[in-house]
Amino acid sequence: MTKTKIALVQMKMTSDSKKNKYIALKNIKKAVKKGAKIICLPELFTLRYFCQVEKHSNFNLAEKIPGPTTEMFSSIAKSFRIILILPVFEKKASGFYHNTCVVINEKGQIIGKYRKMHVPDDPQFYEKFYFTPGDLGFKSFKTSSGNLGILICWDQWFPEAARLTVLKGAEILFYPTAIGWHPREKKKFGKSQLESWLSVQRSHAIANGVFVVAVNRVGTEKQGNKKLEFWGNSVVFDPSGNIIKKASQKEQIIICEIDLKKVEMSRRHWPFFRDRRIDHYKGLLKNPKEA
Amino acid sequence: MTKTKIALVQMKMTSDSKKNKYIALKNIKKAVKKGAKIICLPELFTLRYFCQVEKHSNFNLAEKIPGPTTEMFSSIAKSFRIILILPVFEKKASGFYHNTCVVINEKGQIIGKYRKMHVPDDPQFYEKFYFTPGDLGFKSFKTSSGNLGILICWDQWFPEAARLTVLKGAEILFYPTAIGWHPREKKKFGKSQLESWLSVQRSHAIANGVFVVAVNRVGTEKQGNKKLEFWGNSVVFDPSGNIIKKASQKEQIIICEIDLKKVEMSRRHWPFFRDRRIDHYKGLLKNPKEA
């Protein structure tokens, strides 16, 4: 059995985290009805994207792992016998907060977690204020439905992240995401930004012979006088870089059957791994000298 | 002065290497008339793509550097005061042959060479038979028209190659190339293969904030009963991944003005370099354990 069905829950977040969890549950139920075995939620799915502003009280939103959110969704995973990819704003210890994603298996057990390694900081994406960069490295998790690599949003732009996760064994890369347009930039740069985002992920699929799955939020979120328009477009690429399914910019569940045999097939026909020059890659571990 | 004009000579090769050099010269003259300062020729441009077959006598086609081809084109570079990116089938020493690219400055001096680091081997692309993998590492060359990184064809599929060359200072990545379709595969996979090729290079531009220039050959080449249809589509991407110019599948010179200021601009707005996790990239230097 190399075939499995994955679901991408592209959702809009309210300001009420209980409600967001309820919406997620409702979508999970729909996905289960359609036969999904692995279900992925968007980055920080229980919350509006609070990183639009730097506000100390937002640290109250963080929780421990295991904690209330993982407990609720562990029992959901168990009762539906599904694998859940569950983003959580994690409090590791006082002063240590992470943008984390937990993998829960069909028995309801947490089989591991990934802490976002590359943390962005851009106007209205003030993640460096909130999140300590991940300290667990790049990870792949063995499940009954294949080896799942987890990366989060900004990690998307780093070929190193995809490569390292695949070298750990991943056959599918999941990227819970919160990406969108600054409304003032959308007209001039919006199309190019979205296409760049798709192109980079497509290339991870090709360069690594791996399925790539990005799960984004939708909706325009306001924080004071600031606004972000999350662009949806959640997408599944096969290991040759073809789009299997792609969402629009609406709330949507994407259900997609994938065949893990394609991973091996793609790596045979595009045998990049054979030819990596690991004897000459040391420079990747250094920053350049001044220039 | 951050602006410069580059030319991509997309050409068809004959079985006569003198004629190919003459065609290249004719194209260089045309490009010079249009103001080109940096001119790039396709991979192994003096020759039909002999790697379609494994034939020992083909090693006779290799030459030393400096040698007849670099001498001829050094004097051309000097007389037109241009920078030339000149692929050569190089004989380093008896038994050591490389797929090489030389950079010649506007004084006619060879300022450096790059030896293809990732060597492919695929039906009708039997490069491992001919070429020892490069022993000079990844390189960028400082010129009066910017820092030029050179990579060759198969290197295109390796994000490590682009990253390392940019970490050496490259502002433009040149990829002399010989890629095409197996005629029997074209109908089923041709479109997807071409798009993958474009997508991966586009992503190098985005992930590294660098201009990417691929210069391919065109024409159908027969070797015995074997055939390859080289797909042209030579292309220039700006550092945000937008296509500035792209060729069709005909013989063609692409002339393209680029502004190196865009490199800095792109890296400010997409600050990926800031966030690389060099403390966690060691795995890139290893191959995975058995699985």
- The two tokens of residue B195 are 């798009």
- pLDDT of B224 > 90? The answer is no
Residue type for B271, please?
P
In the three-class reduction of DSSP (H, G, I as helix; E, B as strand; rest coil), residue B45 is classed as: coil
* Domain contains B61: yes
> Could B280 and A118 be called an inter-chain contact, meaning their C-beta atoms sit closer than 8 Å?
no
* Domain contains A186: yes
Supply the pLDDT for residue B257. Answer: 98
* Domain contains B290: no
Q: Does A200 touch chain B (CB under 8 A)?
A: yes
Q: Which of B127, B131, B182, B199 to mutate to test the interface with A (most CBs of A within 10 A)?
A: B199
Per-residue pLDDT of chain A (291 residues; tens, 9 = 90+): 799 999 999 999 999 999 999 999 999 999 999 999 999 999 999 999 999 999 999 999 999 999 999 999 999 999 999 999 999 999 999 999 999 999 999 999 999 999 999 999 999 999 999 999 999 999 999 999 999 999 999 999 999 999 999 999 999 999 999 999 999 999 999 999 999 999 999 999 999 999 999 999 999 999 888 899 999 999 999 999 999 999 999 999 999 999 999 999 999 999 999 999 999 999 999 998 887
* Domain contains B54: yes
> Could B159 and A288 be called an inter-chain contact, meaning their C-beta atoms sit closer than 8 Å?
no
Helices (H), chain A: 17-33, 68-80, 127-130, 159-167, 183-208, 261-269
Q: Does B79 touch chain A (CB under 8 A)?
A: no
What value of ipTM does the predicted structure carry?
0.96
* Cα–Cα distance, B28 to A149 (Å, whole number): 48
CB B146 within 8 A of CB B170: no
Supply the pLDDT for residue A290. Answer: 81
Least CB–CB distance from B207: residue in A159, A242, A273: A159
For residue B123, the chain A residue with the least C-alpha distance is: A269
Active site includes B160? no
Q: Does B290 touch chain A (CB under 8 A)?
A: no
CB B260 within 8 A of CB B241: no
Least CB–CB distance from B278: residue in A202, A240, A287: A287
- The two tokens of residue B274 are 């800031």
Q: Give how far B7 is from chain A: nearest CA, Å.
A: 25
CB A254 within 8 A of CB A247: yes
Q: What is the separation of C-alpha A108 from the centre of its chain, rounded to a whole number of angstroms?
A: 20
Active site includes B153? yes
* Cα–Cα distance, B43 to B22 (Å, whole number): 16
Closest CA to A70 of A100, A42, A49: A100
pTM exceeding 0.95: yes
Q: Does B192 touch chain A (CB under 8 A)?
A: yes
Q: Give how far B33 is from chain A: nearest CA, Å.
A: 33
A157 chain-B contacts, CB cut-off 8 A:
206-207, 270, 272
B123 chain-A contacts, CB cut-off 8 A:
none
Q: Does A207 touch chain B (CB under 8 A)?
A: yes
What Å distances lie between residue B174 and B8, B125, B161, B231, B243, CA to CA?
Answer: 10, 21, 12, 17, 15
> Could B160 and A281 be called an inter-chain contact, meaning their C-beta atoms sit closer than 8 Å?
yes
Supply the pLDDT for residue A29. Answer: 98
DSSP tally for chain A: helices H, then strands E: 6, 15
Supply the pLDDT for residue B215. Answer: 98
Residue A139: which residues within 8 A CB-CB, separation 6 or more?
Answer: A112, A114, A149, A150, A165, A168
* Domain contains A290: no
Closest CA to A198 of A185, A170, A179: A179
- The two tokens of residue A72 are 């609720």
* Cα–Cα distance, A46 to A87 (Å, whole number): 8
| Contact map slice: A 258-287 vs B, CB within 8 A | 270-273, 275-278, 280-287
Q: Give how far B108 is from chain A: nearest CA, Å.
A: 26
Q: What is the pLDDT of residues B161-175, one digit of tens each?
A: 999 999 999 999 999
Supply the pLDDT for residue B290. Answer: 81
> Could A169 and B288 be called an inter-chain contact, meaning their C-beta atoms sit closer than 8 Å?
yes
Q: Does A126 touch chain B (CB under 8 A)?
A: no
Least CB–CB distance from A199: residue in B119, B169, B206: B206
Residue type for A12, please?
K
Active site includes A116? yes
Encode A27-78 in three state secondary structure. HHHHHHHCCCCEEECCCCCCCCCHHHCCCHHHHHHCECCCCHHHHHHHHHHH
> Could B138 and A287 be called an inter-chain contact, meaning their C-beta atoms sit closer than 8 Å?
no
Long-range CB contacts (< 8 A, 24+ apart) of A22-30?
A24/A73, A25/A76, A27/A253, A28/A76, A28/A80, A28/A82, A28/A84, A29/A80, A30/A253
B134 chain-A contacts, CB cut-off 8 A:
277
* Domain contains B291: no
Q: Does A168 touch chain B (CB under 8 A)?
A: yes
> Could A169 and B291 be called an inter-chain contact, meaning their C-beta atoms sit closer than 8 Å?
yes
> In the block, which residue shows the tokens 């089923």?
B188
For chain A, the domain total comes to 1
Q: Does A72 touch chain B (CB under 8 A)?
A: no
Domain extent at residue B178: 3-285
Supply the pLDDT for residue A250. Answer: 97
Q: Please report the sign of the dihedral spanned by the C-alpha atoms of residue A185, residue A191, residue A194, residue A196.
A: negative
* Domain contains B146: yes
Supply the pLDDT for residue A74. Answer: 98
Q: Which of B151, B195, B275, B278 to mutate to test the interface with A (most CBs of A within 10 A)?
A: B275
CATH number for position A225: 3.60.110.10
Q: What is the pLDDT of residues B244-254, one digit of tens each?
A: 999 999 999 99
Phi, psi of B19 (to 5 degrees): -65, -40
* Domain contains B38: yes
Least CB–CB distance from A196: residue in B119, B167, B241: B241
Q: Does A34 touch chain B (CB under 8 A)?
A: no
Of the pLDDT bands very low, low, confident and very high (cuts 50, 70, 90), residue B214 is very high
Q: Give how far B179 is from chain A: nearest CA, Å.
A: 13
Q: Does A1 touch chain B (CB under 8 A)?
A: no
